[in-house]
Chains A and B, each alone.
Chain A
Amino acid sequence: MSTTIAFLHTELTLLRRDTTAWATAIALPFVLGAWWITTDPPFADGMGAIVALQVATLLIFSLHTVGTMALASRREQLVLKRWRTSQASPLSVLMGTIGVPAGLVVLQAAVLTALTMAASDTAPASVTMLAVGALSGVAVVGALTFVAAAFTRSAEHAMITTFPVIIVVMAGTAWSLMRPFDAFDWPVLAVPGGAMTQLLQLGWEGPTDGSGAAAWLSQAAPGLVATVVLTALGTIAARHWFRWEPRP
């Protein structure tokens, strides 16, 4: 745990000194997220949908792109290999590297949600469920980031290798927004971004039938199951393909 914190501290320092990553991780998604509030996307119905778009944007840039670049360049420069000669566990090396971008997503999502609330003068039905939704996205996209990084030789190469996940998450989010969020739409849930969108909308609008814990749970369950399954699949794939050094 303390080694993970040491890595997080180091990664934060590295991110601060990397203006490209800084722009990709902070400026771009934040501006875009704020912009979603002022426009009224035709396929986005309600403020829950706006929040889903914001989180998807953050996941794509702050987490996936920045995370893939960080992992690939640390491996290319043999930094991952070097860290592994320390007492830190492999998991803490990886969590330390991806933790900063993941944390940025959560932080920025919180700020953007607050902005959205202020601008629309509405409030989410459950902040907890919003957090669960955002974390669902972080889990799925985080796992996919390791998969993408496995196929990325360098930070520059990430321009190409991040593309599939970007497209898929955009598609999953958009597709999910076109369906009622309380529908049990397994094909939609199976696409990364789909479950997250449903959970976020649920968090904002509240359950459509009933209001007790049982109603929340029954409507959240499909999204949660999809999240667990996708994260597990991503993790298995990452464990299979991820390499610690450029020479295999």
Chain B
Amino acid sequence: MLTARALRCRYGAFEAVRGIDLTVHEGELFALLGTNGAGKTTTLETFEGHRAADDGTVEVLGLDPRAHHRELAARTGVVFQQSGLPAELTPREVLRLWSRLTPDARRHLDVDEALARVGLGHRVAVRIRQLSGGERRRLDLAVALLNDPELVFLDEPTTGMDPEARMRTWGIIRELLADGVTVVLTTHYLEEAEALADRLAIMHEGRLATAGTLAEVVAAQPGTIQAELPPDAPQLPPFPERRHDGSSARLELRTTQLQRDLTRLLRWAEDHDVELSGLQAADASLAQVFHELSAGEVLAEGDLTDPEARP
């Protein structure tokens, strides 16, 4: 459906994308996460045919996005991070224009229906200048969906939306997926990726720090076991990744072997008749993974041999 191989993009001497390999399968939602300036928008723009790759290759629907821009424009939809619609036009005028600008689309949605679908049914004839930030974002989505695309690129589509509008947008995205549309999404809302993504990648400084399903991405990071130890607790068995602040009786373990270490802990507690209160065991959250991977530069300067030094 969509692939990048060793993709590199430079702005002058600055390399914004530094060798990315990724594949997006038909009908899935792929979320691209990462800190500001990680290179998400740049990557998307090479897929959209808007920017030439300086190195490596990209393929969209089996085609080179630069050479086959015209065909792909009819078959894909794009929400830019920054909208780019003339402020003095109305939503209805913009959509009417857009259907004339995508003559080879397999189908066009009805203009007013498309606006109603994104919740702009009551604002069809207002100047874009007068729309709120969230309303403009909805209009961007309506433009992207107007030509009934097979593949959509959504660059932070819900930024600036109120919770209700965001839920509605998630609903629309789920409908797209149900219709077999492939979605590539960037977002700074991790819960959005958790809710929608079949697979995701986290970008950091132009590279993919990790990629896979949510479960795979999360499994690669250590989970946490926490418990309160009674004051008279006997000596704990050795845990390689134990974090223990001497004063309190609080146990905190970070482990990539969550099940094994939890079993060991529980067995030890049973053997020594220890009552563990406040026991918690959890995989890493996406937020933890994101934080770990985006702190890469900080880590590199710190002491890598001491995991306790991590923030």
Contacts and interface: CB of A to CB of B under 8 A. Distances in A.
| In the complex, the 8 A-B pairs of residues with the closest C-beta atoms, listed nearest first | A78-B84, A82-B84, A86-B101, A6-B100, A87-B73, A17-B88, A85-B78, A88-B101
A13 B103 contact: no
A159 B157 CA distance: 36
23 contacts: A2-B103, A3-B100, A3-B101, A3-B103, A6-B100, A13-B88, A13-B93, A14-B88, A17-B88, A18-B88, A79-B86, A81-B80, A82-B80, A83-B101, A84-B50, A85-B48, A85-B73, A85-B78, A87-B70, A87-B101, A87-B102, A88-B101, A248-B11
B82 interface: yes
Contact of B84 (A6, A7, A79): A79
Given A10-B86, A14-B88, A81-B84, A86 B73 contact: yes
B87 A6 contact: no
Interface in B86-137: 86-89, 93, 97-98, 100-104
B125 to A, nearest CB: 13
A87 B104 contact: yes
B103 A87 contact: yes
Interface residues of B, number: 24
A38 interface: no
B83 interface: yes
Interface in B15-62: 48, 50
Nearest to A3: B101
Contacts of A84: 50
A64 interface: no
B83 A82 contact: yes
Contacts of A128: none
Given A3-B101, A6-B100, 4 more contacts: A14-B86, A77-B84, A77-B87, A85-B80
B190 to A, nearest CB: 27
Interface of A: 2-3, 6-7, 9-10, 13-14, 17-18, 74, 77-79, 81-89, 248
Max chain A C-beta neighbours (<10 A), residue from B48, B74, B102 = B102
B290 to A, nearest CB: 26
Contacts of B103: 2-3, 87
Contacts of B73: 85-87
B276 interface: no
Contact of B80 (A9, A10, A78): A78
Nearest to B49: A85
Max chain A C-beta neighbours (<10 A), residue from B78, B89, B101 = B101
Contact of B82 (A17, A78, A85): A78
Contacts of A83: 101
B85 interface: yes
A6 B96 CA distance: 9
B89 A10 contact: yes
Nearest to A6: B100
Nearest to A87: B73
Given A81-B84, A87-B74, A14 B100 contact: no
A248 B83 CA distance: 17
Contacts of A3: 100-101, 103
A43 to B, nearest CB: 41
Contacts of B102: 86-87
A6 B82 contact: no
